[in-house]
Chain A
Amino acid sequence: MIVRMRFFPFLLTIASALAQDAGATHADWPHYGGTNFAWRYSALDQINAANVKSLTPAWMFQTGDYAANLQATPLVIDGVMYLITARARVFAVDAATGRELWRYNYPEPPPSVPGFVGNRGLAVSDGKVFFGTKDNYMVALDQRTGRLAWKVNIDDARQCGCNITAAPLIAKDKVIVGGSGGDGAHRGYLTAFNTKNGRLAWRWYVIPGPGEKGHETWKGDSWKFGGGAPWLTGSFDPALNLVYWGTGNAAADFYDSERVPEGADKRRDVNLYTASVVALDADTGKLRWHYQEVPDDLWDYDSAYEVLLMDREIRGRMRRVLVHMNKSGLTVVLDRVTGEFLGAFSVPEVRTWISGVTENGILVGRNEPQVGKTVNICPSAAGAKSWNSMAYSPRTGLLYVPVNEVCNDITVVNRAPEEGHSNMSGEFRLKLPEGRTTYSHMDAWDLVTGKRAWSIPYKYVLLASVLATAGDLVFTGNPEGEFFALDAKSGNRLWSYQTGAGNRGSPVSYAVNGRQYVATPTGWQNSVVGGLEAALFPDQNWRLGSTLVVFALPEGARAEGSR
């Protein structure tokens, strides 16, 4: 008995050490989410709470693509940084100096190709650099030279109304990508290609076709244009050989009478597999399990966001868990082997779409849009969190989340779907909740207890991703152009730098020759959700641009602060 007691803590330590290593980056930042566990956490600690006040710019890289914004996550591998701009201009840059090594300009699609100009990142594997495009090509470049290796078309944007803005995901010898278009009349899907030759590996449709399980959760022909587009990047657990992905909302967004079967039980599994997180076999794309977060979504609460994978002790048992937040700010913690629900918490302070969630994950007190009148609902279709990613630190065990407090007036206008065109069946008008003077906050959340550890208010909205580091720092930026570092334990602001343009991208950390760097994209976006400042803060005019700003410690400060 005594021996057992001694062994038990020892085994736990090993297990958590392994789990800690799996999701952290070191000198490289090889994937969109840091690693394929999507923590956006760097194990580097040269820059830390004691010396961060000395952090200064080391170099900057102006891409010259001032179309609108710079949203991408830069990747760093063996001292070379790979960066993609809004119009898919790809650069390889010396990560220590900013010297350009090569560039590739993807030919701009003609104006007849509809969609949003923006790109959230690349993937690198198998000696190639991969990215998706506005006109729905998966493109592979030679990693060493930037020369086009192969490209393959996934869909015609003129027909589907869909585009690729997300970074692809690498799972062994496959490159996997989703697309947008789920607020239009479109049926979302993921597509996997072989990295070697670009040949199709598999296609998974978010909405099951006739004869497939889950098809019965759709009324009539509504499945054909039911949305669900998985428009961001998933995660991959090689030990389980499972790919995890979040899916978009059901369409028509605000009106369900044409898509929900008569007498459907809205507590579970309506309009599968929209507004869900799914686990797919990495080799075949076959569905292993699903968890639907918003059954019969009527609020445009996409669940397409990042999927964080980690091992944590939950109620006395070590679990391989998955953490996933959707647009409503509702965050579920699942067993990622089975999909079993382990817990949930909601991050916005103003929430009127539901009154709560049961211990089994059932939504309670649904406040749905009504035909014939306008209903104010919080949070808004712009999201309690937008696509910008949260971060997770295994040192504090906390999630770092930018949360927006914005509501909307929803008016239902039912209309028949038309392929590739907007299928919202309603209008939403963004509104600030009454009685507040701050409209966002940067939070730390304990995923095991579901409690908020700290929260720092901000006047406007937060739409940049978060980076956490082993120096117990949390980095993110705001639309006014400030890029700043918070103490991971307390939330205290330790450092800030005015980067000259709004922050709407994803910062990373890496090291070259023993020197740690922090890099952040800058350049605001004035369309789609980034354009909400026009609706909410008309006196603001946040600056556009497309510049990567890279910081490091000066030589002296490095010696002083290192641990």
Chain B
Amino acid sequence: MRKVLVGIKRVIDYNVRVRVRPDGSGVVTDGVKMSINPFDEIALEEALRIRERGAADEVIAASIGPDDAQQQLRTALAMGADRAILVRADGAIPSMIAARALHALVEREQPLFVILGKQAIDDDSGQTGQLLAGLWDRPQATFASKIELEGNSARVTREVDAGLEVIEVDLPAVFTTDLRLNEPRYVKLPDIMKAKKKPLDVTDLAALGVTAAAQLRVVRLDPPAQRQKGVVVKDAAELVAALRQKGLLQ
């Protein structure tokens, strides 16, 4: 069975204006909308399309997080994942812990490939895929905007600083998604009903042999420095004059 493992992280919805708690212990989450990390929706969409093309047989959505992450996994199942795994863990999940847990799942499930997001929009750390590929000692193709499977390898177009890079990797491999890989489908109501019957296994870090201890801790969060609101000028001439005065234009 050609399996695909997809990472689904529960994060604060990208439309929410995130605020730091006054005591610096974290960000405000009470009553805040939570969603699937946008890059993970893209990852799942890609996995589904590959399965629909017949190049894979089963799509497994995996999340490391609190019990509530079952909501995001149910959404993933409604989008079309075949089954889901929740690895229960509380608090912030450092990328290395997520990578170790995913690595344990990889050893158990032996997928053809893993697709993760290029970054989670909460920690913005952008590491998990590369960590997993390093731990697993398999190829990585990060920031993918096109994935073409060809037998035992894949040709991946990557969004890099210089432009678009194409690399070829042997499978199994880890891919991470960039924004332009695809546009995720919408979930339809009947699919939400069907998703309730799909398997969602719950396990935890200890059962996978992963210790929750990280070498890295967030000590404090602070709000960013605010920029001063500037002035609105009345026309092009005034703008050019102001820029000349600041020495920014000749």
Partners in one complex: no
On B, residues with C-beta under 8 Å from A are: none
